Chain A
Amino acid sequence: EVQLVESGGGLVQPGGSLTLSCVGSGFSFSSFWMSWVRQAPGKGLEWVANMKKDGSEEYYADSVKGRFTISRDNARNSLYLEMNSLRAEDTAIYYCARESAGNWGPDYYYFMDVWGKGTAVTVSS
């Protein structure tokens, strides 16, 4: 069964740090881009960051750039999100998602087809 399982969430004070983990199983983890997406209480989905299959490229939402770092360990089928300088507005459920790719002629496109159940992060004093 294709599966993603997140862990590492919890309660942290403003200005603190936390690292989330996501372990993939049932598929070739190293063959896929991977993303983090979050949903704050009562709010919509917000894409946070993603990383290329081999870890050579990474991209971030403006809201987390410079504070969050995405990384991966393909030998451990794992994706990470290191979160620093946390703010109250970072409080959310954080989801790990697999990005699958397709092609339309010469163009490649991506979509998030497998999601974990999420891990909750609360930033509060």
Chain B
Amino acid sequence: DIQMTQSPSSVSASVGDRVTITCRASQHISRWLAWYQKKPGRAPRLLVFASSSLQTGVPSRFSGSGSGTDFTLTIGGLLPEDSATYYCQQANNFPWTFGQGTKVEIK
């Protein structure tokens, strides 16, 4: 199975800050990576698919990049509503696997 490793595990930042989350795959996954936002009591929300394609309705302050084994999710200009846990997920090989999550908190 492909292992997905996110860093950092948590980050605390101020409103307006730029936040970058990284995700590393244990083997090459081309561009087949998605990012999700998860808030307590809510369903996961797709933010980015195919590494860098923004899902419809997602604010443009979210962006994704990367290919192969290394990927990033950037929040450019943090807002209070961005407080959540973010997960990467590979869709190159079954079984699909998620990273362990990165908790983003607002200072």
A115 at the interface (CB under 8 A from B): yes
The distance from the CB of A4 to the nearest CB of chain B, in whole angstroms, is 9
Give 1 or 0 for each of A43-63: 1 = CB within 8 Å of chain B CB: 011110010000000011110
The answer to whether B49 and A111 have CB atoms under 8 Å apart is yes
Contacts A109-B32, A111-B49 given; does A62 touch B96 at CB 8 Å? no
- List which A68-125 residues lie within 8 A (CB) of chain B: 95, 97, 102, 104, 107, 109-113, 115-118
Task: Point out the residue from B31, B43, B95 that lies within 8 Å of A62, measured CB to CB.
Answer: B95
Contacts A113-B46, A116-B43 given; does A46 touch B31 at CB 8 Å? no
Q: Which residues of A sit under 8 angstroms from B53, Cβ to Cβ? A: 102
Give the CA-CA distance A60 to B31 in the complex, in Å.
22
The answer to whether B1 and A112 have CB atoms under 8 Å apart is no
Q: Which residues of B sit under 8 angstroms from A60, Cβ to Cβ? A: 95
A34 at the interface (CB under 8 A from B): no
Give the CA-CA distance A35 to B34 in the complex, in Å.
15
B97 at the interface (CB under 8 A from A): yes
The answer to whether A62 and B1 have CB atoms under 8 Å apart is yes
Q: Which residues of B sit under 8 angstroms from A115, Cβ to Cβ? A: 43-46
The dominant DSSP class at the B interface is loop
Contacts A45-B38, A117-B43, A118-B43 given; does A109 touch B91 at CB 8 Å? yes
- List which A15-65 residues lie within 8 A (CB) of chain B: 35, 37, 39, 44-47, 50, 59-62
Task: Point out the residue from B36, B45, B96 that lies within 8 Å of A35, measured CB to CB.
Answer: B96
Give the CA-CA distance A20 to B1 in the complex, in Å.
26
Beyond A45-B36, A47-B97, A112-B36, 15 additional pairs, beta carbon < 8 A:
A35-B96, A39-B38, A44-B85, A44-B98, A45-B38, A45-B44, A45-B89, A50-B94, A61-B95, A95-B44, A104-B50, A109-B49, A112-B46, A113-B49, A115-B45
Show the binding face of A for B, using Cβ within 8 Å.
Answer: 35, 37, 39, 44-47, 50, 59-62, 95, 97, 102, 104, 107, 109-113, 115-118
CB-defined A-B contacts under 8 Å, sample of 6? A45-B44, A45-B101, A102-B49, A104-B50, A111-B49, A113-B46
